[in-house]
Structure 1
Amino acid sequence: MEIALIKNLSCHVGKQVTIQGWIYNQRSSGKIAFLIIRDGSGLMQGVVVKQEAGEVLFSEAKKLTQESAVKVTGLVREEPRSIGGYEMQITALEIVSIAEDYPITHKEHGVDFLAEHRHLWIRTPRQAAVLRIRSEIEHALRNFFYERDFVLADAPIITPAACEGTTNLFELDYHGEKGYLSQSGQLYNEANAMALGRIYCFGPTFRAEKSKTRRHLLEFWMIEAEMAYFALNDTMKLQEEMISYVIERVLEKCTNELKALERDVEKLKAIKLPFPRISYTEAVEILKQAGEEFTWGDDFGAPHETIISSHFNAPVFVHRYPTAIKAFYMKPDPDNPEVVLGADLLAPEGYGEIIGGGQRIDDLALLEQRIAEHKLPQEAFEWYLDLRRFGTVPHSGFGLGLERTVAWLCGLEHIRETIPFPRMLHKMYP
């Protein structure tokens, strides 16, 4: 018997197939049992009619508990009233295992309880929908770069030096030496770009921030790109094309998931190229016009980013931030060294920064000066300085926070739902 996925039932109407999954819900009367079955790809209603299936099969169906594992075989038919528009007339049932009393029932549970049972929470339709959208976003990002001749070049997770200072690092002992969990693969990306031209890396990053907000995780995934011979405007153009590409893919491939999340897809469909571009100074003026007390030179907080993006109701680039609040490797604007050739992309609907990037310093003397100004040990960056000694060229890059992007496209209230097992302040279980 052919084994099918629930999401593909429309291809099997009028055929006998087998579904392998788990019981999401079960109800029965004296003559008929309804089994809601999930298999990871979706939900399906299975029907067991006592008169047709027989006493033994009907009794087996009635004793199934939530999350019991089953294999069911039967005839697929269209049924507009059923979940997904199709159902199965079950003719054979194999019980793989009977589940104990399941802790997550079909009622409201508190956030702390759900977090403690995250390994089970991810089985619910809403959480599964988020994770499927996350998977599609990752797939789309990889395709985007592949289609543009980028090379995937992995960066190390254990590093000997900080990318952006040591205050937010997880420190570890590396055979008697200090090592750190990576904040970013960017410095290594620059080396790879000098070898391969256009590259990207994709992996986990770690920041020991004390932030306890709906936007922050201590472990999160970033896709980071670096391009030789790219200036600031080149990288902003690439970023907006990438975001547009991802949105189109999610709208095309994740219709059922977005519906399950009750996402207002019209807001995503309304996003068009090019994205607005404003300077940091112009963004400060928007804040002041909105009644915010804000000093030029300060960094934006989440409320500030929300006000700025709401002004456009679209993703917006904010470029040329003050040099003092950006990383040591950011290239100062030749026309105004008080600001750097960097840009953040702010997502609409209050989701804030999802991409940060810009043009890197390509001058050896200036980079040495910036390392000294940031009080970083130059000896730890000698290899990085070598990139300026041997064939330096203008180059730019950026990093996209996957979880923030997932939260935005899914319309989620909190970032903890965007990754299977979130790592947040004081929360490391399970």
Structure 2
Amino acid sequence: MKTTIAQIGKHVGETVTIGAWLANKRSSGKIAFLQLRDGTGFIQGVVVKAEVAEDIFALAKEMTQESSLFVTGTVREDDRAPSGYELTVTSLELISEAKDYPITPKEHGTEFLMDHRHLWLRSKRQHAIMRVRNEIIRATYEFFHKEGFVKVDPPILTGSSAEGTTNLFHTKYFDEDAYLSQSGQLYMEAAAMALGKVFSFGPTFRAEKSKTRRHLIEFWMIEPEMAFMDHEESLEVQENYVSYVVQSVLENCRLELKALDRDVSRLEKVQAPFPRITYDEAVELLKKEGHEIQWGEDFGAPHETAIAEKYDKPVFITHYPAEIKAFYMKPDPERSDVVLCADLIAPEGYGEIIGGSQRIDDEELLKQRYEEHNLSDDAYKWYMDLRTYGTVPHSGFGLGLERTVGWICGTEHVRETIPFPRLLNRLYP
């Protein structure tokens, strides 16, 4: 019977065949221990010389790392194995021998591993991170489907910037200028006016020359947008969504978190509601901690980390100064110098994972913002139409997938959280 490592627990005592690669091996004279992987998981295959044909045992000892093979054997329970099962091998069939595999069990430098990212993905740690990423994506679709959201795909090629910045990748769109999208948000606002509650999930691009452990040039964003919803209601959606994703990973990726040596007790605390502090309170907190920061300045990584250390859950920082936020954010009706917005800061130094706000729904105020930010009436006329024709209170947010994966997995650098990272100095492989 053919099966996978992930399904092998259903076949205890049975003889099965799996297609696999040899991740590693060791032998002690009359027994060979094969560390096998098939993409769904890892398992140890035990080959006993006295129990198999001579050529099978010879193959087990001679096979090279990352050679591919079909393995047949009997499934048995083993409490010492990470998955709880082992395979007593009865037969091996070599598919393809791998020669001089470059990533050996010894230590390798980061640049070497990044040059071989197409192979590094096969390692146990990278495999675990990709499986957690997949679970976050699965749980995201599940959450928004349950909450009545419609998936909408905004364009990747755009004629203007979502946030009026210059950190865009420029290209020619026949005889026009075009840019790779840095956010689908403005288009999602249009979709929300048609469909009520919507979300997008796609690649975004930022041409920032940043080398920090939190930054990628190309990354994926989940961007919900909600009609008839104010800032406070949006915060509830955000905390419920993040809680749902974290609990789904805890439920479905225990083996992966164990492989990553992740302290799951920290993740178990991530349940809504989350604490909230205002920007004003955050500035005062930072000053008391000895940080040099003035009201009106944006927070950097050290500031976010210092704030997050006060809590064992993600924390919302709300009501930032209007001057340091995007043109479309709605001012607080009781205080025009701050906007109805929030950043969600992850614990353990992982920084901002969500940025969100209530959007300006007043046509005259948005016209004023266009003038203040020198935005082209021609490029943004369609966005103004959303206020002209049936404007409503609406809010939305964006969650960065890779930062969220990094936080949940406990990785040191965001480059490990995406299959093929695009960094300032890296476009290969």
User: 2:186: which partner in 1?
Assistant: 187
Counterpart residue number, 1:416: 415
User: After the TM superposition, which residues 19-418 of structure 1 pair with which residues of structure 2 at under 5 Å, given as runs?
Assistant: 19-418=18-417
**Partners in 2 of 1:397 and 1:82 — Cα distance?**
45
Question: Partner residue of 1:12?
Answer: 11
Superposed displacement of residue 83, structure 1: 4.6
After alignment, is 307-316 or 152-161 more displaced? 307-316
Of 21-30 and 388-397, deviating more is 21-30
Contact conserved, 1:159 with 1:180, CA < 8 A, in 2?
yes
Give the drift of 1:212.
Answer: 0.6
Distance in 2 (CA, whole Å) between partners of 1:22 and 1:148 is 41
Contact kept in structure 2, 1:372 and 1:378, CA below 8 Å? no
Aligned identity (percent) is 61
1:145-168: CA deviation from partner (whole Å, max 9, x where unpaired): 000110001111000000112411
Q: In angstroms, what is the RMSD of aligned CA positions?
A: 1.1
CA contact (8 A) 2:217 2:424 kept: yes
Offset, 1:33: 1.9
**Unpaired stretches in structure 2, ≥5 consecutive residues:** none
Residues 309 and 349 of structure 1 are in contact (CA less than 8 Å); yes or no, is this contact kept in structure 2? yes
Distance (whole Å) between structure 2 residues aligned to residue 110 and residue 34 of structure 1:
28
SS at match of 1:327: coil
Matched residue SS, 2:43: strand
When residues 28 and 341 of structure 1 are mapped into structure 2, their CA distance, relative to the original with a 3 A threshold, is same
CA contact (8 A) 2:269 2:312 kept: no
- Amino acid of the structure 2 residue aligned with 1:310: E
Describe the superposition over 1:177-228 as per-residue Cα deviations: whole angstroms up to 9, x where unpaired. Answer: 1100000000000000000000000000000011110000010000000000
**Which of 262-271 and 49-58 deviates more?**
49-58
**1:34 Cα deviation from its structure 2 partner:** 1.7
Name the TM-score, length of structure 1 as normaliser: 0.98
In the alignment, residue 269 of structure 1 is paired with which amino acid?
E
How far has the Cα of 1:8 moved from its partner?
Answer: 2.4
Could you tell me whether the CA contact under 8 Å between 1:45 and 1:83 is conserved in 2?
A: no
What letter is aligned with 1:80? D
> 2:301 touches 2:351 (CA, 8 Å); kept in 1?
yes
Alignment coverage as a number of residue pairs? 429
Q: For 1:56 and 1:272, locate their aligned partners in 2 and report how far apart those are by CA, in whole Å.
A: 55
What is the rounded CA distance, in whole Å, between the counterparts of 1:196 and 1:90 in structure 2?
56
1: CA distance, partners of 2:239 / 2:398: 13
Deviation of residue 29 (structure 1)? 4.2
CA shift, 1:426, in A, is 1.4
Farther-moved stretch of structure 1 (211-220 vs 40-49): 40-49
Other structure's SS at 2:45 match: strand
Q: CA deviation at 1:135?
A: 0.3
CA deviation string 1:225-252 (max 9, x = no partner): 0000010000001000001111110110
* Superposed displacement of residue 365, structure 1: 1.3
